[in-house]
Amino acid sequence: MFGSLRFLLAYLVIVSHLVGTEYVAHFGFYAVRGFFVISGLMMTAALNEVYEFDGVRFWINRALRLLPPYYFVCALTLIAIAIAPGEAAEYLKFWRGLPDTGDLLINLAVLPLQFPYGSIRLIPPFWSVAIEIDMYLLLYLVVSRQMSWALIALVAGLSFQLVCVHDALNWSLIYFTAPSAVLPFAVGAVLYFLRQRGRWIATPLAAGCAFAAWVANMLAGGTVFPASYIFGWGYLFDTACFGIIVSGLSALSSQQFGPLVERIDRLLGEWSYFAFLAHWLAGFLVAGILLDGETRGWMLLLAVTPVVLVASAVFAMLNRKFLEPLRSRVRRSHGRSAPAAPAAAPGKDTPGAGKRLKFPRPTTKSPRACV
């Protein structure tokens, strides 16, 4: 059932961006943290069960998953900015003018997007995917190889977050940097090892309660609790709740709920990454064509939602036709084969790219996963 959860997180990012109010801004912050927890679990499972730490296959598959749709949306965004430069500049500060050579290289290279330089960002939230790539490298080199390293990363990430909260450090340091992502990715990795060893899996009841607490915590920030809570202890509580949610969902399969639910879950999982990529561009087009330049607000969100859904469906169709066959070939190119399955975003996988894995019951031998 990770597909539906990933789409919910992607939509919360869209809400935080397009509504434009101070209150909903942290919905996206908390959603990106959730993407990171899911990616920590999924990538650790993939590295151990699918790629067996074959770096060539792993990185080729990640590149095929993340980059082609990103570059396609970047090209569409460049066209939109060139056609309506004044409106684009008014709509989003990152679209004030066409990129020069340096800005274009920053956007194409992806990884520099996590740093504060570069005035033009064609897909502004793609910085979270750059952070996710950093974490993929950390998982590949160290964290996903054994439980002890995952625990060390968990302690290190938690220590960093506690220092940030205690010293009330700048939010940019807590949220927009690679060290800030170590904790959620390590949580996901530890959850994988706990499940594989049969030591702990959250029950459906515990996962349901954790989801309710996660939603309540998000909604209470800025209403019941002040902004300092949102960016401090509320952020840590968000991570703890989401770890329980992910653990519980890893024990469930959408197949248990029937073919219709399984199909919907897979579709939503596919669409989540594409919705994440396209929502700023979709918002710009809807604002200019239908809403007379209304750049933010609930009305814009409502009008953009069906456009994002249709765009995501089209992207998913193109992805299945042109990219998934290549990714399946890469997965099968070494040893035993694994069937291809559509997948989606980061979080922010994200914000980031998504995957579909068949997690084993703790008392049985692990089957091949599919990522």
> Positive or negative, the Cα torsion across 49, 55, 56, 59?
positive
Q: Is residue 343 part of a domain?
A: no
Token pair 């990770």 is at which residue?
2
Q: Is residue 371 part of a domain?
A: no
Assigned token pair, 343: 């997948």
315/308 Cα distance (integer angstroms): 10
pTM over 0.85: yes
- Amino acid 334: pLDDT: 62
Rounded to an integer, the average pLDDT of 248-274 is 89
pLDDT tens-digit map of 310-355: 999 999 999 999 999 999 999 887 654 443 333 334 443 444 444 4
- Amino acid 1: pLDDT: 78
CB 268 within 8 A of CB 112: no
Assigned token pair, 164: 């940030």
CB 340 within 8 A of CB 368: no
- Amino acid 356: pLDDT: 45
Assigned token pair, 274: 């594409």
CA–CA distances in Å: residue 298 to residues 17, 167, 198: 11, 36, 45
- Amino acid 292: pLDDT: 86
Structural domain total, the chain:
1
Q: Is residue 367 part of a domain?
A: no
229/33 Cα distance (integer angstroms): 16
pLDDT tens-digit map of 27-53: 999 999 999 999 999 999 999 999 999
- Amino acid 80: pLDDT: 96
Average pLDDT value for the chain? 89
Q: What DSSP state is assigned to residue 225?
A: B
Rounded to an integer, the average pLDDT of 256-269 is 90
CA–CA distances in Å: residue 33 to residues 104, 128, 214, 331: 28, 10, 12, 28
Q: Is residue 197 part of a domain?
A: yes
Rounded to an integer, the average pLDDT of 66-89 is 96
Rounded to an integer, the average pLDDT of 219-223 is 94
Confidence check: pLDDT of 155 > 50: yes
Q: Is residue 41 part of a domain?
A: yes
pLDDT tens-digit map of 264-299: 999 999 999 999 999 999 999 999 999 988 899 999
pLDDT tens-digit map of 92-143: 999 998 999 999 999 999 999 999 877 899 999 999 999 999 999 999 999 9
Indicate the residue type of 158.
L
Note down the domain range covering 174: 2-332
> If we measure between CA atoms, which residue out of 285, 236, 244, 239 comes closest to residue 80?
285
CA–CA distances in Å: residue 223 to residues 35, 153, 229, 238: 24, 33, 11, 16
Q: Is residue 368 part of a domain?
A: no
Q: Is residue 348 part of a domain?
A: no
Token pair 């935080």 is at which residue?
16
Q: Is residue 159 part of a domain?
A: yes
- Amino acid 245: pLDDT: 97
pLDDT tens-digit map of 67-78: 999 999 999 999
> If we measure between CA atoms, which residue out of 213, 262, 279, 369 comes closest to residue 3?
262
CA–CA distances in Å: residue 135 to residues 57, 132, 156, 157, 337: 17, 5, 14, 12, 26
